[in-house]
């Protein structure tokens, strides 16, 4: 399951790396930017965490408690109709 989150504006690269490492220890299998290599600070702050479905709620709670994280949420489920 994927969780989306965004770092607070002005969060340093060192702090971002530390949060991502802590997030892996909290149960995320992978953490990566939503838009790799993005130069826009707002888009560059968006991240995706890959989490086992059984751990998603605890990881989401962990993310929301971090002061460096502006928001954290499950992606919107969309049903595409053809």
Could you read off the pLDDT of 14-49 as tens digits, one per residue?
A: 999 999 999 999 889 999 999 999 899 999 999 999
* CATH of residue 33: 3.30.70.330
pLDDT at position 79 over 90: no
CA distance 80 to 28: 28
Average pLDDT, the chain: 93
In a domain, 80, yes or no: no
Strands 28-33 and 46-51: antiparallel
| Alpha carbon separation from 51 to 22, 40, 42, 59 (Å, rounded) | 13, 26, 23, 8
For the chain, the domain total comes to 1
Write out the residue range of the structural domain in which residue 50 sits: 2-73
- Name the pTM for this structure: 0.88
b/e burial code for range 26-58 (CB count within 10 A of at least 16 → b): bebeebeeeeeeeeeeeebbbbbbebeeebbee
């Amino acid at each position: 399951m994927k969780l989306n989150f965004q770092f607070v504006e002005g969060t340093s690269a060192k702090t971002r790396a530390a949060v991502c490492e802590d997030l892996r220890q909290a149960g995320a299998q992978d953490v990566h930017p939503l838009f790799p290599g993005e130069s826009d600070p707002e888009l560059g702050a968006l991240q995706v965490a890959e989490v086992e479905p059984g751990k998603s709620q605890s990881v989401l709670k962990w993310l929301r408690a971090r002061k460096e994280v502006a928001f954290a949420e499950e992606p919107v489920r969309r049903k595409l109709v053809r």
